[in-house]
Amino acid sequence: MDELTQPLKLSNATLPDLSPQVRVPQYDRAALTPGIVHIGLGNFHRAHQAWYLHRLFDQGLNHDWAIIGAGVRPNDAWQRDKLGVQDHLTTLIELDPAATSAEICGSMTGFLPVEPDNAALIAQMADPAIRIVALTVTEGGYYIDPATGGLDATHPDIQHDTAHPDSPRTAFGAIVAALNQRRRNGHGPFTGQSCDNLQGNGAILRQTVVSLARLSDPDLADWIDAQCTFPNSMVDCIVPATGPAEIALACSFGIDDAAPVTHENFRQWVIEDSFCAGRPDWDRVGATFTSDVHSYEAMKIRLLNAGHQVIANPGEILGLGTIADCMAHPEIRAFFYRIEQREIAPHVAPVPGTTPDAYIDMIAGRFANPAIRDTTRRVAFDGSARHTGFVLPIIRDALTAGTAIEGLALVEALWARMCDGTREDGSTIQPNDPHWADLQATARTARHRPMAWLEQAHIYGDLATASRFATAFESWLNQLWSDGCVATLRAYCAD
Q: What is the predicted pLDDT for the residue at 4?
A: 47
Q: What is the predicted pLDDT for the residue at 140?
A: 80
Give every CB contact of residue 222 below 8 A, 6+ residues apart in sequence.
none
Q: Do domains 8-291 and 298-494 have the same CATH topology?
A: no
Domain boundaries, the chain: 8-291, 298-494
Alpha-carbon span 9 to 436, nearest angstrom = 39
The number of CA neighbours under 13 Å toward the Cβ of 338 is 20
* Nearest to 131, CA basis, from 33, 48, 201: 33
Contact 35, 132 (CB under 8 A): yes
Query: Domain 8-291 carries which CATH code?
Result: 3.40.50.720
Q: What is the predicted pLDDT for the residue at 412?
A: 98
Q: DSSP 3-state helix, strand, coil percentages of the chain (rounded to 5)?
A: 50, 15, 35
Alpha-carbon span 224 to 190, nearest angstrom = 9
Alpha-carbon span 44 to 101, nearest angstrom = 18
Adjacent-strand bridge partners of 269: 235
* Nearest to 16, CA basis, from 3, 26, 30, 6: 26
Separation of first and last alpha carbons in the chain: 53
Q: What is the CA radius of gyration of the chain?
A: 23
In the three-class reduction of DSSP (H, G, I as helix; E, B as strand; rest coil), residue 406 is classed as: helix
How far is Cα of residue 417 from the mean position of the Cα atoms in its chain?
A: 24
Judge if pTM exceeds 0.95.
no
**DSSP H helical ranges for 329-375:** 330-339, 356-367
Alpha-carbon span 312 to 172, nearest angstrom = 31
Q: What is the predicted pLDDT for the residue at 253?
A: 97
Adjacent-strand bridge partners of 22: 102
Give just the sign of the alpha carbon dihedral 297, 303, 306, 309: negative
Domain 298-494: CATH superfamily is N-(1-d-carboxylethyl)-l-norvaline Dehydrogenase; domain 2 (1.10.1040.10)
Question: Would strands 255-256 and 288-289 be described as parallel, antiparallel, or unpaired?
Answer: unpaired
Give every CB contact of residue 296 below 8 A, 6+ residues apart in sequence.
234, 270, 288, 290, 351
Tens digit of each residue's pLDDT (9 = 90 or more) over 41-77: 999 999 999 999 999 999 999 999 999 999 999 889 9
Give every CB contact of residue 456 below 8 A, 6+ residues apart in sequence.
442
Q: Could you say which DSSP state residue 73 is in?
A: S
* Other CB atoms within 10 Å distance of the CB of residue 136: 22
How far is Cα of residue 1 from the mean position of the Cα atoms in its chain?
A: 34
With a cut of 70, list the residues of the chain below it in pLDDT. Answer: 1-4
Instruction: Determine the length of the chain.
Output: 495
Contact 253, 1 (CB under 8 A): yes
Contact 168, 155 (CB under 8 A): no
DSSP 371-396: T---BHHHHHTTHHHHIIIIIHHHHH
Contact 26, 260 (CB under 8 A): no
